[in-house]
Structure 1
């Protein structure tokens, strides 16, 4: 009778998996490698301006000397998927954009140590190592730590890099940024533009992601596998921040404060490594576990509150149907106004009302109420005498399911028996009149069951569940013309009442809406589904698709 979501504050969408899972022979997560503030990469001489250190470019994720992706023919294509599309397609689009092929050979360098994607310093161009060192100096600057606008400005970053590099030559600019670095920054700009255009991510979280623009550039320049493999820690961190922040829209929100600290800790690291991003990801997962536990408890309470509320309303509606216009002697008040509604309430919570047991429960209550009405005819008395023992036994059986004390059961049933005895005692009909009444009753057709079912169900057609809507999905939820839309999770669908219950990321009840309301709002665009896709994968796929189909 109701569908409930898995309680918790993040996005659990059964129809939006995080990309295509790897096959048995597909490369898995990348090995840790350094994203330095300055150190030597294969094929790159030391620049002199970089801090000393021993840095190696990470090996291809999950590869060995015998892996066909690494040891095959020169320029071997990638055989796996990333961002839900073939990695070879990503490599081709990226290579066309950078102006140099992106494949196994260029990604890892050849036997001679040449690494086209990691150019060294020349007399005309700054090498990758110098640029990464300059970026490390920029990442703590206010305009990048706390960007004032929700936009990624690649030109401003490149100008800032040149200005930072010129400090070592007295402010004189004698070289340019190499093309690979320049185009990599431009490519990251396209990625962030797609993230900024993604309506599924709140503006509050977008500003947080933009704080990571310099670290992400450093990650992508130091390790081009960043674009090729789904599970690079920096990519996973971006995705996780967007996922856990799906309902966060306020800078004072506890989750935002926690996310902001994680980003600040990354920005404070001069020498960024994949371990830096992995540690941040681990810290975030720990925070999520704590926040999820609190959100789970609140959402479970909200779900139970909603279901209990609908159960009460359903019971009250059924009671109105069977008691309207009826006389209820005081002796049966404990049975009809307390014990029986409790039976109905508990049954509804477990099974709903679309079942024979519910109908029988209501029909029995109706029969009890009919049996205690004042006796006005011989037929009334004959009917009572014929049915009372069966009704008493049925009442006792039902109460035994919910009341453990035999004394309490007999006390409640005793009120019904006393009422019957009083009615029979007060009636004054001859045996002949009763015999005639019994014959009349035997000839009567009983159509009251159909009437009751019709009254309980109503004549109105039931609205349909909105297409493709299921518990656990998130929405930009219309809250009225005079209020801002809210980011809410669909927590409960009460099918029998055609009702939807929404909570915020903390698991707190926000609003309930009818099927009709949500259908109308979605049709008009006032309420929209938040798809729950991977933020980075969606952005990368968008960029690759657009580059393949310009204009």
Structure 2
């Protein structure tokens, strides 16, 4: 039987009778309890998965060593009750498939010994045993998901737990040393994650600059075509080949540069000469050389660049030495500037109209601070995965998500993200800044208050 008592004012109670009422239960002294726990600590954990299982294993071992009357004091029983509730709350936040689950189980005996010998375990935030317990638990909640298992971290945590299980005999310095090793690794991981995330953000910002330049170049050419109305095939060449030239110039030099002013003059000259009737004048050879050189810079082949430059520097855009059909086919087959990186042009497909709810969420997303955490539903069973909104662009509408290790795990448009949220497939997480162990302890206290009608000694102790 598993004897349980309510804590009395003095923290002890008379020895109760056992289940038969014939043999009085004899609470063992603290030294005997710790000796029995030390024996359990040296054993390999098999079926024991909860603090209640450890409690029962302890009672069984005590009775095997000291007789059927052996029991725990009321105070020790209550300590195990609190530990069982605390562990239960911790396990609510730890992924059930995380490597940390086994580590938490292996820590049960040393943690129980620490709590039994030091009542401050429950109320001292920086208690060494709580610190290590929190480190392992938070690893299980945040770092050791199935999609991003970190073998080095698992090894470091395993070594720390093994050190405690092997060395702990009541000295809290064992917990402190093990936790410091883990914290050093966490700091190194955090730095590594920050660097990885920074690289992804810089790449995303590069795409944003490219898209901004593409939009500006496209707007400039659209305005030119509207004002000057060059021949349709010339307009097609301007919107494809020459647009890449303008985009690259903006990217490299900026709108206020001499290079951009030169490109603007060349663009105006292209419109001027191609708007003249065919055969009304000779080609502008200097312009043709400038256009050809610019096209070569953005990756056009020599023959393509020459054919395009002849048409953009000749009245009417005519060129007897090249075929419009062949040139059009070759232009369609080649990738535009920047399309190698993202594989699509976000301007080609306009998003469907948003509902009122989706529009409200879309506006909210465009004001969120970088670093906001989201939870995404991953399957029909409702499993969720946390990802951090590392960065987003109001120009491209693109949002970058990373995992706790700073690795890029997803990209969404803000429009698509708003639709996911509207359908309950994604939600913003209001991040609790407190430590997992502290949240678990507060949840334990709330459970105790509800069970005891807001009147428990644990509440007063906290």
For residues 165 and 304 of structure 1, do their structure 2 counterparts lie closer, same or farther at Cα, with a shift above 3 Å needed? same
Provide the secondary structure at the position in 2 that maps to 1:327. Answer: helix
Structure 2 distance, partners of 1:313, 1:290, is: 35
More helix by share: 2
For residues 421 and 316 of structure 1, do their structure 2 counterparts lie closer, same or farther at Cα, with a shift above 3 Å needed? closer
Structure 2 distance, partners of 1:148, 1:518, is: 43
Q: Deviations over 1:92-111 (max 9, x none)?
A: xxxx964347xxxxxxxxxx
TM-score by length of 1: 0.53
Q: Which runs of 5+ in 2 are unaligned?
A: 16-23, 223-231, 278-309, 316-346, 454-462
Asked whether 1:140 is paired with 2:42, we answer yes
| 2:227 corresponds to | none
Structure 1 residues 317-328: aligned runs within 5 Å: 317-323=215-221, 327=234
Q: Deviations over 1:356-400 (max 9, x none)?
A: x79xx999977863442135379xxxxxxxxxxxxxxxxxxxxxx
Asked whether 1:369 is paired with 2:267, we answer yes
For residues 372 and 292 of structure 1, do their structure 2 counterparts lie closer, same or farther at Cα, with a shift above 3 Å needed? same
State whether residues 234 and 274 of structure 2, in contact with CA within 8 Å, keep that contact through their aligned partners in structure 1: no
How far did residue 206 of structure 1 move?
A: 3.9
> Which residue of the other structure, out of 108, 116, 127, is the alignment partner of 1:232?
127
Q: Deviations over 1:153-201 (max 9, x none)?
A: 41x32232123234544xx223211111111101111111111223789
Asked whether 1:194 is paired with 2:93, we answer no
Structure 1 distance, partners of 2:6, 2:267, is: 81
Q: Which runs of 5+ in 1 are unaligned?
A: 1-95, 102-115, 349-356, 379-417, 424-454
TM-score by length of 2: 0.62
Instruction: Identify which range, 523-532 or 480-489, moves more after superposition.
Output: 480-489
Structure 2 distance, partners of 1:539, 1:294, is: 29
State whether residues 115 and 121 of structure 2, in contact with CA within 8 Å, keep that contact through their aligned partners in structure 1: yes
Structure 2 distance, partners of 1:298, 1:128, is: 51
Structure 2 distance, partners of 1:207, 1:525, is: 33
For residues 468 and 307 of structure 1, do their structure 2 counterparts lie closer, same or farther at Cα, with a shift above 3 Å needed? closer
Structure 2 distance, partners of 1:371, 1:482, is: 63
Deviant stretches of 4+, over 4 Å: 146-149, 199-204, 328-331, 333-336, 361-368, 418-423, 458-462, 479-485
Provide the secondary structure at the position in 2 that maps to 1:531. Answer: coil
Structure 1 residues 351-430: aligned runs within 5 Å: 369-373=267-271, 374=273, 376=275
Structure 2 distance, partners of 1:124, 1:521, is: 61
State whether residues 475 and 489 of structure 1, in contact with CA within 8 Å, keep that contact through their aligned partners in structure 2: yes
State whether residues 322 and 366 of structure 1, in contact with CA within 8 Å, keep that contact through their aligned partners in structure 2: no
CA RMSD of aligned residues (A): 4.7
Structure 1 distance, partners of 2:94, 2:35, is: 34
| 1:542 corresponds to | 443
> Which residue of the other structure, out of 211, 215, 219, is the alignment partner of 1:313?
211
| 2:27 corresponds to | 125
Structure 2 distance, partners of 1:161, 1:482, is: 38
> Which residue of the other structure, out of 239, 244, 247, is the alignment partner of 1:341?
247
> Which residue of the other structure, out of 141, 145, 169, is the alignment partner of 1:249?
145
How far did residue 205 of structure 1 move?
A: 3.3
State whether residues 201 and 242 of structure 1, in contact with CA within 8 Å, keep that contact through their aligned partners in structure 2: no
| 1:214 corresponds to | 109
Structure 1 distance, partners of 2:74, 2:59, is: 13
